[in-house]
Structure 1
Amino acid sequence: MKIQSYNLRFMIIIIFLLTFLPTGLTQTTVQYSYFTYQETSFQPNLTGTQPHILHIDHYNDNSDTAVVRIARVNYYKNVTKNYCYEQRLLLRVIKADGSVIQINYENATEIQDINYCAVTTLAKNPLNIYPLFDKYILVTYTHATNTSDSSTYVDRGMVFHWNGTIISKLEFGPSYLYPGTNWYPKEFIINNITPKNGFLRLFAANGNELDSFKWSQYG
């Protein structure tokens, strides 16, 4: 079994200090903290490439804690001019003290290979992560009864606890197809003002109107 280790350097914004100038303008001073984290993988069929940081975000109720999604390139897709990544969801929770919590999800039946390649030349990513509150992370993706038939695509979500447990599963509805057959992931999710009250999801709706969007609230 092959073991590979890589050093990833993360930058965490620790605190923002706002200093008000006499002119009424605001100057922002940002303090940064750097640390190196060693990523080790035991998967035998890795491409051998350095892990990429695909997404990083922090909690609204705990700005000192960030969630990072990392992945290794699997191959390059000439049709869309985008990279495809290994079929593994790798999340790293980085706390203010420099400790890292690993969340690895490798159920290829649920999060299928269609989620690990960016879609269209605009590089829309069907797999996204959203820190919710406390120790919970929302992961959104697309699931298909038949990956060769876009009409079977449905948008889904899972809420993970930091310990890797899946707290809940969500089914949002049919994926957006434009102009009726081409899959085009299109969503925007934001926490409620009070994160514990849930989140809002804005998504493109299928139908005759090209720019039809809908809001849904989840608690």
Structure 2
Amino acid sequence: MKKNRDAIVAYRLRELRKQKEIDDGRPWTADQVGKAIGIGQSTYSNYENEIRKPSLDRIEELAAFYKVTPSYLAAFTDHKGSTGGDALHVTPMMTESAKEMCINPSGDYSISIELLEMHGLRKENILVDAIQDNAMAPHLIKGDVVIVKREPNLSIETLPLGIYCIKEQNGRTWMRWVKREINGTVKVYPENSTHYDSITLSEEDFKQFTILGTIFRVIRKPKFDDI
């Protein structure tokens, strides 16, 4: 059954790409589709040819691109549905940084209810943030949109090493590595240490920040010249 489902996923990807060419009145090659969702041509071609299976997150991205439900693309249902309806997608709250960068989550940055349910999440568990600098490059670059999974129960005393969305008292947010040292201090540092500084704070000083959560998804919009 699983093998049959994988074959259906590959078939539906091929057919959806052909249909998109008809609907848009322009060619959509595997390379162009790959660039539109941020993957290589060979990776996308492998999906269509049943050589490689797309992940759940990739299924959601492809479903949004082709305007069908993730369940249809994953071969769990024969009902295509539509990704345009409010019943299928939710609009997360935006951080102040996202608002400053004029990010509009109601279109490209809305997220499907199905994907949230797959991860045991609801609308209240996520935020939309916008990357303000290149401190976390190449993982995150300025202009990227990040869906943040809220982590309200995180405690600095037991905080594991990771990349976190940190909010300052003025409302601005940043993505940085955060590490609690053995001596009790907290190190906040970038991936790109050549151009950005690290800071080490006492636990008391670190309380000026609020840890909003961890990265759930990164949305990197392609340039129109690449499509």
Provide TM-score, normalisation by structure 2.
0.27
Query: Which protein is richer in helix relative to its size?
Result: 2
By relative contact order (CA 8 Å, sep 6+), the higher-ranking structure is: 2
Query: Which protein is richer in strand relative to its size?
Result: 1
